[in-house]
């Protein structure tokens, strides 16, 4: 396999992030196949055509059904809102395509099971975009834990804090509508925390949670044609509609290996732009990561001489650190977009050798099972076992 020809379904925030990865992966990684940015797909033709030229795609198409059937496409990359994932993935699997899907895997657990069933039934390779696993500092944390550097793990506490909808006049975008997004801060932000916890600590056993919607209704967006540009633009109207997802969800967890954890996701934390942070405590030490300082890992070791103990900052940019050797010289930091490049490099290397990438749909389903158990616990106000 010398080339992997890609069809990207979706063209906005995540479409840009994934396009960045395909454009840059060969520049930094010696991978066995080249990604070919064949076609980008979306519903609105005029902004889609702009994205095609700006992001570097050869063609554009407004019907995803045509894209998944094209014989000159090897990989379908799904970056649409969650409610569209299932239909696209099942159709792509039926056509024998490699599939990369954004997180969460689906808007419901039932859809996630159906998607996993499809990729297994049709025998296609599959991956999910839990990109934070691919940051050098996070991968280093995993490495240190696997080496026993912090000993037996006791605690994980993780938060994901944002503030972009604190203003009650912020409009009713799709992420605030359950029928499209599946859930709010929970499925969007807690999904990342759950995956990182599984990657670093182990499997969830049972959970109990609570959630809150602080602003119950918001201005509805209306689409209007711009007579000057011909583009369809969205504007806030004077009408308001109900917010049908959570603004914040917190939960406690017990893991199968005895670890206990606390998790918090909110979009109502003024001053926190992308404040993902986790701390893991073990018998021999601790690890702390903060996404807003994503090149750094904090590490404390009980094995240090008592007079010298304290958290040390590891700048995870050395060639000995995971992924970092493919980037710049030590001390020359990387950013958010590079996590997608690392993920695509791993994906291409895996499928080129006949392996399934990691993380994949199995991880997506495991995450969805925890998300679902938390929602069930909120409704029943009790601890719920994770399936």
The predicted model gives 332-349 an average pLDDT of 98
pLDDT score of 248 more than 80: yes
Q: Residue 222 has what pLDDT?
A: 85
Asked if the model's pLDDT at residue 192 lies above 90, the reply is yes
- The 10s digit of each residue's pLDDT in 53-111 is 999 999 999 999 999 999 999 999 999 999 999 999 999 999 999 999 999 999 999 99
What is the model's pLDDT at position 226?
56
pTM of the model: 0.95
Q: What is the DSSP letter of 73?
A: -
| 322 CB-side CA count, 13 A | 20
Task: Give the burial class of 226: count Cβ atoms within 10 A of its Cβ; 0-12 exposed, 13-18 middle, 19 or more buried.
Answer: exposed
Q: What is the pLDDT of residue 327?
A: 98
What percent of the chain is modeled with pLDDT above 90?
A: 95
d(CA 325, CA 139): 13
DSSP 178: H
Q: Which is nearest to 387 in space by CA: 374, 185, 196?
A: 374
List, in sequence order, every residue forming a beta bridge with 286; answer none if it has no partner. 281, 300
CATH superfamily of 136-293+295-334+366-385: Dihydrodipicolinate Reductase; domain 2 (3.30.360.10)
Segment 260-276 mean pLDDT? 98
207: which strand partners? 253, 384
Phi–psi pair at 292, nearest 5 degrees: -75, -5
Per-residue confidence at 229, pLDDT binned at 50, 70, 90? low
Quote the pLDDT of residue 296.
98
Cα–Cα distance, 119 to 351 (Å, whole number): 14
How would you label 196-218 residue by residue, b for 16+ Cβ within 10 Å and e otherwise? bbbbbbeebbbbbbebebebeeb
| Dist CA 181 CA 188 (whole Å) | 8
Mean pLDDT (whole number) for 217-234 = 70
**Domain boundary assignment for the chain:** 3-131, 136-293+295-334+366-385
DSSP codes joined into one string, 214-260: S--EEEEEEEEE-TTT--EEEEEEEEEEE--S-SEEEEEEEETTS-E
**Considering only the top CATH level, what class is 3-131?**
alpha beta
Across the chain, mean pLDDT equals 96
Rounded distance between C-alpha atoms, residue 113 and residue 348, angstroms: 25
């Amino acid at each position: 396999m010398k080339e992997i020809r890609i069809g990207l379904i979706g063209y906005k925030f995540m479409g840009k992030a994934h396009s960045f990865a395909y454009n840059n992966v060969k520049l930094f990684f010696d991978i066995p196949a080249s990604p070919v940015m064949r076609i980008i797909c979306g519903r609105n033709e005029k902004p889609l055509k702009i994205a095609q030229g700006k992001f570097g795609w050869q063609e554009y198409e407004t019907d995803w059904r045509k894209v998944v059937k094209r014989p000159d496409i090897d990989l379908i990359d799904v970056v649409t809102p969650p409610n569209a994932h299932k239909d696209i993935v099942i159709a792509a699997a039926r056509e024998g395509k490699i599939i990369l899907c954004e997180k969460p895997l689906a808007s419901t657990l039932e859809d996630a099971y159906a998607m996993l069933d499809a990729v297994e039934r049709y025998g296609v390779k599959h991956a999910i975009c839990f990109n934070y696993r691919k940051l050098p500092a996070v991968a280093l944390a995993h490495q240190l834990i696997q080496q026993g550097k912090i000993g037996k793990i006791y605690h994980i506490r993780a938060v994901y804090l944002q503030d972009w909808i604190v203003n009650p006049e912020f409009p009713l975008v799709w992420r605030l509508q359950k029928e499209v997004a599946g859930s709010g801060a929970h499925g969007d932000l807690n999904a990342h925390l759950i995956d990182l916890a599984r990657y670093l600590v182990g499997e969830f056993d049972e959970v109990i949670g609570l959630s809150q919607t602080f602003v119950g209704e918001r201005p509805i967006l209306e689409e209007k044609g711009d007579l000057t540009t011909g583009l369809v633009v969205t504007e806030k109207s004077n009408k308001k509609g109900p917010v049908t997802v959570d603004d914040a969800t917190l939960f406690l967890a017990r893991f199968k290996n005895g670890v206990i954890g606390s998790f918090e996701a909110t979009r109502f934390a003024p001053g926190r732009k992308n404040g993902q942070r986790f701390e893991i405590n073990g018998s021999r030490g601790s690890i702390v990561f903060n996404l807003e300082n994503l090149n750094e890992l904090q590490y404390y070791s009980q094995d240090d001489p008592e007079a010298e103990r304290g958290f040390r900052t590891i700048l995870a940019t050395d060639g000995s650190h995971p992924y970092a050797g493919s980037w710049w010289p030590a001390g020359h930091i990387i950013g958010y977009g590079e996590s997608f490049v690392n993920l695509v490099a791993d994906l291409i290397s895996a499928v080129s050798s006949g392996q399934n990438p990691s993380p994949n749909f199995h991880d997506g389903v495991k995450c969805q099972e925890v998300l679902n158990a938390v929602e069930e616990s909120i409704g029943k106000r009790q601890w719920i076992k994770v399936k």
